[in-house]
Structure 1
Amino acid sequence: MNHCFVDRDALPLPTWLEAFPRARVMRREQLGLLPSGEPVVLWVRLRSGETLDSAMPPAALAAWQLLVLLADEPDDEVVADALGRGASGCCNTHAAPEVLQQVALVVGNGGLWVGQSLLRRLVGGTSRALAARSERPPRVDWSTVLSEREVQVARLVAGGASNREVADQLSITERTVKAHLSAIFEKLGLRDRLQLSLRINGVQV
């Protein structure tokens, strides 16, 4: 997997290059120079005082599936907003090289990287929503618009399986899993794996 760090001034931190010595570093306006078909993790820096609109332009999200926000001042609201816009994760700009490598491993396998406090809020909110609907039969209409294989992939992903784990269980390639996920998201009108989990567990999103 290739890595590209995007910053307002294209000034890499030593920790970035220690984590990924062969990574590219560029300014935001240079994003169009990257080949769209190249597998890459895009690390986008959000400097103090900047908005997500400036750091995460829609064009970048449309072209790159794996985008991690590097926030100088990360908080739950920033992380939640970034994930809602399609980011695969968010961490501190000054995270240690080992942390950056772990983030890359998680998102590269189809997972989401979020802080512990936000994760607890998301899980707690989901649990409360499910409990409030416990007396109703679960929604199953989502499965009627998917193929049998897409239903299998959707259930496994909603259960927390990574792309690699889904591929192993269904004896297909990770590329095929990604293709099924893209089709599932499009058919159900969803943005990411979290929304898919909520939908399959009966929470309308």
Structure 2
Amino acid sequence: MKQSLIFVQDPNALKNWLEATDSQEVKVLYDLHELEKRFIAQSCILLVQLSEHATVHDIGHLVKHGFDVLVFSNLPSNEEGLALFKNGIKGYLNTFSTPDRIKQAMTTIMTGNVWLGQSIMTAMIQSVGSAVTVNDDWRTLLTEREFEVVKLVLESLPNRAIAERLNITERTVKSHLHNTFEKLNVKDRLALALKVKNWQSLSA
């Protein structure tokens, strides 16, 4: 279990954050100065409220030193989230999220994954482009139905909409995605979109 480091300005948010950590391995920080010299980055998960005392630049610096960073924003937006994820953060939440939601995000991050809200994931998939016509050599690894599912994922459609479009069940969509993730060696939809886009760029 990683040690939780908390840097937050709002006392009401602090209460929720402390409840979410639910661990003796938690330390409230009063600054982010030279954090890499005070803690072993790989052994910590850092919860940070975005503020004038913790800017996107500051957070990028912490990520470069190996910290897993979960960022909280008073007014979260897709644009802000995208900028932060490009800096390497592992998760993005509203400052006043419930303890349960924060705990879910932390658990996801500690298992090596990224915590994305649905709107942020949709925006990120759209940001890497949805065209699959540049070069689709990668599709030879997939069945025709798996390829059809991937095309709809790249259009940012959720599983239910994909199922309706292809006239199959959501369970079948999940099965196709599971197989696709394994074949292309990715963990989730965002990684799939990024890999396909990179593949197109390299092959074009």
TM-score by length of 1: 0.61
Q: Percent identity?
A: 19
Number of aligned residues: 157
Structure 2: runs of 5+ lacking an equivalent: 139-180
Q: Distance in 1 between matches of 2:35 and 2:127?
A: 36
Q: Distance in 2 between matches of 1:126 and 1:14?
A: 37
Does structure 1 conserve the Cα–Cα contact (< 8 Å) formed by 2:91 and 2:115? Answer: yes
Equivalence map 1:38-57=2 (5 Å): 38-47=42-51, 51-53=55-57, 55-57=58-60
Residue by residue over 1:146-174, the C-alpha shift from the partner in whole angstroms, topping out at 9 and shown as x without a partner, is xxxxxx999322x529xxxxxxxxxxxxx
Structure 1: runs of 5+ lacking an equivalent: 140-151, 162-191
Could you say what secondary structure the match of 1:69 adopts? Answer: strand
Could you say what secondary structure the match of 1:129 adopts? Answer: coil
Q: Distance in 1 between matches of 2:38 and 2:193?
A: 29
The root-mean-square deviation of aligned C-alpha atoms, in Å, is: 3.6
Does structure 1 conserve the Cα–Cα contact (< 8 Å) formed by 2:41 and 2:67? Answer: no
Aligned equivalent of 1:78 = 80
Q: Which residue of the other structure, out of 88, 94, 111, is the alignment partner of 1:109?
A: 111
Q: Distance in 2 between matches of 1:63 and 1:10?
A: 28
1:156 correspondence with 2:160: no
Residue by residue over 1:64-85, the C-alpha shift from the partner in whole angstroms, topping out at 9 and shown as x without a partner, is 3411111111100111011000
AA paired with 1:155?
Answer: L
Does structure 2 conserve the Cα–Cα contact (< 8 Å) formed by 1:154 and 1:196? Answer: no
Could you say what secondary structure the match of 1:202 adopts? Answer: helix
AA paired with 1:202?
Answer: Q
Does structure 2 conserve the Cα–Cα contact (< 8 Å) formed by 1:74 and 1:91? Answer: yes
Could you say what secondary structure the match of 2:45 adopts? Answer: strand
Aligned equivalent of 2:200 = 202
Aligned equivalent of 1:4 = 5
AA paired with 2:200?
Answer: G
AA paired with 2:51?
Answer: R
Does structure 2 conserve the Cα–Cα contact (< 8 Å) formed by 1:7 and 1:28? Answer: no
TM-score by length of 2: 0.61
| Max Rg structure | 2
Could you say what secondary structure the match of 2:7 adopts? Answer: strand
